[in-house]
Amino acid sequence: MVKKLKKTANITIQNFNRLKKSCIVVKSKLYSFVCGLIIALSFKENVICGYVRKNSIFKLKNWQRKCQPKRLFKTLNEKLVSDATKYLKFVPTKIRHWRRFMNYLGFNLVIYCANNHFRIINEKDHIKRTFFGEIYLLRCDSDSKCKYHYDVIRKPNGYFGKFICTLCFKSGKNKTSHICKYKCIMCKSEVKHDKQSTMQTSYCKNCHRYFYNKSCKNIHIRNKICDRKKMCLKCDNLYIVNIKKPHQCYSKDFCKSCQCIHPPRKHYIKGSFKPPPHCEHILIFDFETFNNSNNIVTPYLCVSRLYNITDVEEISDCVYQEKIFYGIECAKEFFTYLISGLVPLKTICFAHNGQSFDLFYLKTLLFKPILSS
């Protein structure tokens, strides 16, 4: 059901949040931000906080989080605002004021913006590590007088459906493959050995890799990275150990996505279908256009080349026949050339931008006999 609703364009973010188990929708429209903080403080993992221990009113039950009684939340709202004003010595009105107060309680306030591709608001103001953890809120447009509405996210991994790091708040496929900017690249510890020293001196005999120092080497064994990542001595490539798929040696210029060797940063575009077998000829064409007096794009030049690719390794060595068609009727002349029999059968035609431009002038000619009949 959730996947169907994601695809529909008419659904709002608030209706989508009601279906997510990892999200609690705040009912209050005027005080959704403060009510969201109250709900987040009542979670089991946040009850350890000294502020919640002293004020046992904030220990809510599951039905209280869902129903959100008005009298109870009104008293909790007044209590939280009064305690925040005592600490800040002024009434908090902005997000940075509440973030300062939550940091004092031992929490890191993380707010995702639904209108900005779920990016974090004021990400630079976050503290690297807090004592208790993070409080996650989601900001979206409001239907009431207030500009924004805030909902509570229990766990961002469950809401977004993928792994999200609690240090850098970046997403990844899983915890093992994620590269955090607050962790060491080699041993995955919070001590940044790569910033302390640039030379990798300590060698590990099991995985055949060099580390920054002895502590970096020992931590990577403790974190079981040594069993997961190894360096191949034959091809000098780093690989991940997989019992089902054993490592196969390949050159350093080999691209795993393209499955071939090519220069760096020059990837090939994969076709949506496999080329037909026994292909002997290909035809490449392109239209040049201009805007007429009625501002309509009309072709005035068509260049086509017919290549013979039998027993040829490179396209530069192919023998080709070039045909150039001039004038406003160049599209019709090129179409008559295609159906005249001069082009061999089973020839594959390639356009420069066939999907959204070049094939448009041929489609009108292709479907003309069907429309007339």
Reduced to 3 states (helix: H, G, I; strand: E, B; else coil), residue 91 is coil
At 218-245, the pLDDT tens digits run 988 888 888 888 988 888 888 888 888 8
256 assigned to some structural domain:
yes
Specify whether 361 is located in the same domain as 250.
no
Pairing of strands 107-113, 133-141: parallel
3-state secondary structure 48-77: CCHHHHHCHHHCCCHHHHHHCCHHHHHHHH
- H or E stretch including 323? strand 319-326
Residue 44, pLDDT > 60, answer: yes
At 113-146, the pLDDT tens digits run 888 888 888 877 766 655 678 899 999 888 777 8
Specify whether 100 is located in the same domain as 132.
yes
Task: Tell me the mean pLDDT in the region 159-178.
Answer: 84
14 assigned to some structural domain:
yes
Residue 330, classified by CB atoms within 10 Å of its CB into exposed (0-12), middle (13-18) or buried (19+), is buried
Between helix 95-105 and helix 70-88 the angle, nearest 10°, is 90
269 assigned to some structural domain:
no
3-state secondary structure 107-124: EEEEEEEHHHCCEECCHH
Residues β-bridged to residue 303: 286, 324
Question: What range does the domain containing 232 cover?
Answer: 193-261
| 105 and 92 Cβ atoms separated by less than 8 Å | no
Query: Which of 108, 139, 172 is where one domain is finished?
Result: 172
Residue type, 247: H
Task: Tell me the mean pLDDT in the region 39-49.
Answer: 87
Tally of structural domains, the chain:
3
Model pTM? 0.62
Q: What is the longest distance spanned by two Cα atoms in the chain?
A: 90
365 assigned to some structural domain:
yes
128 or 326: whose pLDDT is higher? 326
